[in-house]
Structure 1
Amino acid sequence: MKRRHFLQFAGSTLAAMGLSQANFLKQAEGYRQAIAQSTPRKLALLVGVNDYPSPIPDLGGCLTDVDLQYELLVNKFGFAPSDVLKISDGEDIGPTRQNVLDAYNEHLVKQAKPGDVVVFHYSGHGVPVKDPDPIYENSDENGAIILNDPLSNVGGGTPKLPVITGRTLFLLARSLQTNNVTTILDSCHSGGGTRGTGRVRAISRDLLRAGSSGYEAIPAEFELQRQLLAAQGLSPEDFLAERKAGISNGLSIGSAQFSELALDAPFDGFKAGAFSYLLTRYLWQLPGSTRAESIRVNLTRSTKAAAAAKHHSQVPLFQAAPGSDSLDKPIYFTSPASGPAEAVITSISGDEVEYWLGGLSAQSLALTNEALRFTVLDAAREPVAEIEQASRNGLRAIGKKISGEGEPKPGMLLRETLVGLESNPQLRVGVHESLGEEVDQAIAALSNALVSEGSGRSQLEVTAVDGTTPLDYIFGRMTEEYRAELIAEGYEDTLPPVNTLSLFSPAMEPTPTSYGRIDETVTAAVNRLKPQLKLLLVNKVLNALSNTASSLEVSGEIFTVGGGPSLPLSGSRALNSEARSLDLEIEPFNAGSQLRIRVQNSDPNQSLYLSCLVIDPSGKMTVVYPYEWDAPEDAALIAPDSEVVIPKPETGKAFEVGGAGFLEVMTITSTGSLRNALRGLQEISRSADGYVPVGGDDSIGFLGSLLSDFDNISRNATFGVADVNSTASVVDGSAIAISSTVIEVA
């Protein structure tokens, strides 16, 4: 079994690739209508536990997970606030075992009728406990969730814990009168402690001195199971047979499989479950009813694409009740009540508008605090006002209305229309304790490795790894102990040799192609990594921008020459796009296939300029359009209501993809020419036609020229943009569309 974590950390450069892909996939026309079922009532029970009794380590993101789900269910899926019950450290009902069991029975079992929708979400620690009737080969344990009840009978022998086991959750879900049940568990049942910047949501075997004997559930847990079996008329033999067959009801979604790890991770100004944030942000961007199976496929592609960049192999676990069609239903068994959004207004106080930023990526939050503007949409998704952000605390922000005849109201959705990148974007790099006495030396070397020629400031934000600061990468040494740990956990990829210096992901996964020779000095390693760090910074900025909504009428596809798999893309997440079906499963492209890219400008009056980049998992970029460098501005132009195919068919060229893995195709369309960027690329190409590789040494200059072009086009495109902070690089969605499309080659 592979070693697995869940990825989606603040600023992880390529973690958003699959999500960007999903954002643009949803714009393609012609998706089949997913099966949707209207229901008279939608009930949810959301449980989050941050505070645990000693010695169980506290978590930091579980209350955020509850808020992530609450705002999504109420404002995106139309749940009534009174039908969503929250149990957490910060609520009136605390997260004890009995409170959760009582709430499940009173709020869900007793109220849900046939055809109703039920959602149960848990974020907190998981723990493996002894199973009297094991269902897994080679294991006598099963997973359980643990609340914040006081601990007793621990410290020796076989500790008995106040848990709710998988056996009980099976019976509780089975007791519901409806089959429209979604259970989400953001926890895991192996590991423990910290991994890089995150904390594992599990209790390690040795934490409570269980030793080889493991843990058991308290006697009350088994008594409850006997009562539930009797109430349902289910014999122990039939109970075991049903458990072996699968889950009991509806759809179950797990952030980590049994014996795998789920992380509680820091983001920019908040902590959250890596999986909960990934899932809910994805769902905010859905345009309409979508089968759970399609969501599973696209989320799997997202995490696999991230894996290709950072050797991370976790994929979410979706399970449907045997014989059911749950994977063919929407994920919450109800269609979204609205189209895509980045935020929702939660309250109004005087001229201050407070809103929840659940639909923005971590990359966007980290890089776009200089200037953010949103269009306020009414129930018909018509623009009624524009607000500008004044401050942000985690995922909650405050803004003020700056234009529009309508008045913002709670519940109205927001689409991001203008962003301002900070004047000196930085890559966040942590220095790991594995460097020992060389930590300070590494911090100093990295801090001086990339210094902006314009501002004189470092383009790397460097700090020691402390488990709380969000990071893009970690610089550390592969030790003999850690390498053995990875191998013991079933890590199947090629590992760096012992005593090599390397970049790691925030979850301490070795990053491909970043390690050098054995016993390399810190100074030599930092110098060697400079080009790669530059590329990773550029990728981080471009991926943050690719999440910005745009009103440009751009669409297209990547297709196989001569027939085969194709993949829609779009440069436009239209501000007022309505809810509609998204039901698309993507086939990987075959190795050796020849591909072309078709981009359509559907605006009957506006010419657009197109540039296209291909980025490999290591961050290396190649400009594939334009490729006629004697007159690149003319070559980049797409006339109104016309299309361009890259490469042009008359050239006889196509992209040939080989091997296996993932590539990112980034298309940039704009109302004005990217004059400075094209001039720089023309110099790199020495005016010879063809694709232009942008190496690490050229990438920072290319990024600076690109941001300058974005800023010039944006400030000249829309009235009122010119007064935005002059030190910020502005990107206006009415003038620029950036899409990021991930293709898989198999």
Structure 2
Amino acid sequence: MTLKRRDFLKSIGLATAALGLWDTGWPLLGDRYGQALAQPARRKLALLVGLDRYGSAARDCPPLRGCLMDLELQRQTLIYRYGFQPEDIVTLTDQAATRSAIETTFLEHLVQQARPDDVVVFHFSGYGSQIQGAEPDDLQPSLVAADSALPRSPRDQVNDLPLATLGLLLRALDCDRVITVLDTSHAIPPQTTPPLAVRWRSRLPSAQGDWNPDIVAVQDALRQRALRPQVPGLYLQGSDPHTPALELDLESFAVGAFTASLTQQLWQELPNNPLTVTWQRALSRLINVTGISQHPTLDGETSNRPSLGSWGLVPMSSQGVDGSITRVDSNGEVRLWFGGMSPTALKTLGYNSQFTVVTGEETGSVQPDSPSDPDRSPLSLKVQWRDRLTAAAYLTQGYPENLAQLAPGQGIQEKVRWLPRSPQLTIGLEPQLDRIERIDATSAFAAMGQVEAITMGDRAVDYVFGRLQALQSQSLNTNPDGSLSVSIHRYGLCAPGQEVLPGTISSADEAVKTAVQRLGSRFRSLLALKLLRSLINTDSTRVPLKLEFKDLTLDLPLARYVAERAVGLSPWYSWRNGSSALHFPLPQSHTLRYQCQNLGNQPLYGLLIATRPDGSFALGYPPSLNTAAQQPAKSWVFPPFSATIAIDYPSSLDWVVTTPTTAMELFCVVSTAPFPRTLQVLAPSWEDTFKPLRPVANPLGAIESLLEDLYQGSRGVLPPADAGDTVPLEVSQWAVVRLTGQVQG
């Protein structure tokens, strides 16, 4: 039986549902969360609870990997983005996070200290559960503490932390600016095991039995206090009662998908952004890493305040930042935290990556045609080494005289990104493959080049290779065609935690080596996609542009974007209405329009690259730019803002979605330099020069050429360097913005 949302809200003491992530389309989770943190307050208190290892008391809970990292993400955000004092943040982890310890610490640190003007944050990352009461429809949601063992007999008692108790604790607070974040879930999915390469934060199965008498005593004692009529503030849950919260592996560490997406957006948030923009971007981040399989919810009090700045206190940096300085040593070493970087950008971060320091002098905007100050040179840091989200860096110039200008809490923004010319694809071998299959698969992958096969669990993987039956039975989003028979000798690919990739399953039984060889061209397409995604710099680009993706049939904007860090970009040129999401419903048989506008005073050059789940690539190219046979393809030019757009250089592209597809990724590529190598690779494969979207025959060759073109565009503003196997790109010279469309229904 599934816990109903109304019963869930009633159990914790929330009178009504303010907004559910999927109930209203665009709830204001991110903005209201950020607003409450940004309000002026006498004191800011936080209690963070996370459990990766539950120990023998809760032996029914397999170890998690990302809960302690969730706490670190949250803690660093509170300290270096919103000015919490470290001594006002208390953490309980693993074996210390027993039920009674959580209750006692909440009372002592939050209830007894918080005053009416204070801000309080409570965060929990770990397993959730639901307790079956005496009646079949009596399901009570709970948090699984370190000593929450499943009852083994009718005499055993349930020792979870009921959400009803948490609700009473929250109602006992003497302040109304309260933010509760639960990166957990209570759903019991029909599958018995989580999807491949991810973990659920729902304890399976649900518990049944009587509550520990101590739990009842605590609730009775709390009811004797002067309680608020309902839970104050904002109540954020990692998933709704019907779907599990996911935990993902990212490089050498794991995170809760919800916590990671939320905190990344808070680092990037601007004080004056409309509230809907905040949430739509947070939602896009979550969808980019989980698909649409996780449905967070927001309940509690609402607000009509239009932006973070309207609460009277902005974050420590008034600009969106990729992280913060956390320590400055006298020997010149500067420690950095990269809480605002997306997973794809983080993978590229390493030796020689450069960041500029936001000192507070760079705030504000100027008109597009305003000249930049030639004497202004922001401090720049070069990374020497990185360990997960922490790095050590040094000033690129001005040491030691400029060291005194650096301080903990200053924001940092990406300046130079280094990318490999030949990316590596990591394939996980699903656990149900037998020994011979694994040996054959490893041998076949080793012969391919740029593709590596590893055992699942060793580290993060790009895709999973395995038997059809295993891939389908463990996929959250898969609905196999009933006519497709399941065989143990048919193999395919899936993304971590997601559905089988279309076109990767054979029509008959085959040997493992044959399957790997059959997928050779698909691996090349996936390599191209990985390289293309590594170019995404939506948050950090300084190219002055804005773009719109629109449904012309309904005259409805589907996605809008403006480069907020671009030099010379005035708020007047930002979008004033319409969707600011980068994820949108994909309409079928509608006319769609992509339009890019140059807001600077120099020409820009563009490409539009579309990809589908079946591995196909297409290039968006205006038919009016067609050239005669054997002639070089013309560049798609976006004229300066002050110029009249010439007929020969259109800034928009229209097409009709006619090919059946469940999803589409659009990569909007803009550069300060043209793309001669890319167009040279693409043009010979164009069969119909009047199609706005033209198939790409060699995706990997095209994207490798694109990387070289972008590198040539950056060489004019970077010091000479021996690039070798990696190339540096300067964020003021290129922009790659990803838009994702999903068919609804």
- Which bin holds the TM-score, normalised by the shorter protein? 0.7 to 0.9
Where does the alignment leave 5 or more consecutive residues of structure 2 unmatched?
Answer: 4-25, 364-376
Shift in CA distance, 46/682, structure 1 to aligned 2, threshold 3 Å:
same
> Distance in 1 between the 2:503 and 2:565 partners?
34
Percent of residue pairs bearing the same amino acid type: 26
Deviations 1:364-421 (A, max 9, x none): 2223435411111102336631111111111111111113574332111111111111
Residues 1:443 and 2:437 aligned together = no
Q: Which residue of 1 aligns with 2:664?
A: 663
Shift, 1:590, TM fit: 4.7
Q: Which residue of 1 aligns with 2:430?
A: 432
Correspondence for 1:181 among 174, 178, 183: 178
Deviations 1:168-198 (A, max 9, x none): 1111112222332221111223468664223
Shift in CA distance, 675/490, structure 1 to aligned 2, threshold 3 Å:
closer
Residues 1:86 and 2:81 aligned together = no
- Conserved 8 A contact 1:347-1:353: yes
TM-score, normalised relative to structure 1 = 0.80
**Structure 2 letter corresponding to 1:372:** S
Shift, 1:153, TM fit: 8.7
Other structure's SS at 2:293 match: coil
Other structure's SS at 1:341 match: coil
Correspondence for 2:504 among 505, 514, 522: 514
Shift, 1:646, TM fit: 12
Shift, 1:146, TM fit: 2.3
- Conserved 8 A contact 2:471-2:494: no
Q: Which residue of 2 aligns with 1:346?
A: 326
Shift in CA distance, 646/305, structure 1 to aligned 2, threshold 3 Å:
farther
Q: Which residue of 2 aligns with 1:19?
A: none
> Distance in 1 between the 2:258 and 2:327 partners?
27
Correspondence for 1:272 among 250, 255, 261: 255
Correspondence for 1:356 among 333, 337, 342: 337
Shift, 1:464, TM fit: 1.9
Q: Which residue of 2 aligns with 1:10?
A: none
Q: Which residue of 1 aligns with 2:122?
A: 120
> Distance in 2 between the 1:120 and 1:583 partners?
33
- Conserved 8 A contact 1:572-1:737: no
Q: Which residue of 2 aligns with 1:622?
A: 618
5 Å matches for 1:358-373? 358-369=339-350, 371-373=352-354
- Conserved 8 A contact 1:666-1:739: yes
Other structure's SS at 1:171 match: helix
Q: Which residue of 2 aligns with 1:416?
A: 414
Stretch deviating more after TM superposition (409-418 or 489-498):
489-498
- Conserved 8 A contact 2:622-2:650: no
Shift, 1:726, TM fit: 2.8
**Structure 1 letter corresponding to 2:219:** Q
Q: Which residue of 2 aligns with 1:287?
A: 270
Shift, 1:342, TM fit: 1.0
Shift, 1:345, TM fit: 0.8
5 Å matches for 1:17-416? 37-54=39-56, 55=59, 56-89=61-94, 94-131=96-133, 139-149=137-147, 155-157=152-154, 159-189=156-186, 190=188, 195-205=195-205, 214=208, 216-232=210-226, 248-288=231-271, 295-303=278-286, 312-321=292-301, 324-325=302-303, 336-338=315-317, 339-349=319-329, 350-369=331-350, 371-381=352-362, 384-403=378-397, 406-407=402-403, 408-416=406-414
5 Å matches for 1:679-718? 679-685=680-686, 688=689, 690-691=691-692, 693-695=694-696, 698-715=698-715, 717-718=716-717
Deviations 1:328-360 (A, max 9, x none): 886998754432111211112221111111111
- Conserved 8 A contact 2:185-2:245: yes
> Distance in 2 between the 1:418 and 1:650 partners?
31
5 Å matches for 1:490-501? 494=481, 497-499=485-487, 500-501=490-491
Shift, 1:282, TM fit: 2.3
5 Å matches for 1:511-590? 511-547=501-537, 549-561=540-552, 564-566=555-557, 567-570=559-562, 573-574=565-566, 585=579, 588=585, 590=587
**Structure 2 letter corresponding to 1:175:** A
> Distance in 1 between the 2:299 and 2:430 partners?
37
Shift in CA distance, 493/112, structure 1 to aligned 2, threshold 3 Å:
farther
**Structure 1 letter corresponding to 2:384:** A
**Structure 2 letter corresponding to 1:657:** V
**Structure 1 letter corresponding to 2:131:** V
> Distance in 2 between the 1:365 and 1:503 partners?
25
Aligned Cα root-mean-square deviation (Å):
3.9
- Conserved 8 A contact 2:337-2:391: yes
> Distance in 2 between the 1:657 and 1:332 partners?
41
> Distance in 1 between the 2:577 and 2:39 partners?
16
Other structure's SS at 2:49 match: strand
**Structure 2 letter corresponding to 1:318:** L
Shift, 1:121, TM fit: 0.7
Shift in CA distance, 692/202, structure 1 to aligned 2, threshold 3 Å:
closer
Other structure's SS at 2:219 match: helix
Shift in CA distance, 690/95, structure 1 to aligned 2, threshold 3 Å:
same
**Structure 2 letter corresponding to 1:733:** V
Shift, 1:290, TM fit: 5.5
> Distance in 2 between the 1:169 and 1:43 partners?
17
Shift, 1:691, TM fit: 4.0
| Number of aligned residue pairs | 673
Other structure's SS at 1:74 match: helix
Shift, 1:584, TM fit: 6.1
**Structure 2 letter corresponding to 1:204:** L
- Conserved 8 A contact 2:257-2:286: no
Shift, 1:508, TM fit: 5.7
Other structure's SS at 2:737 match: strand
> Distance in 1 between the 2:496 and 2:568 partners?
36
Stretch deviating more after TM superposition (222-231 or 327-336):
327-336
- Conserved 8 A contact 2:543-2:566: yes
- Conserved 8 A contact 1:159-1:214: no
Other structure's SS at 1:542 match: helix
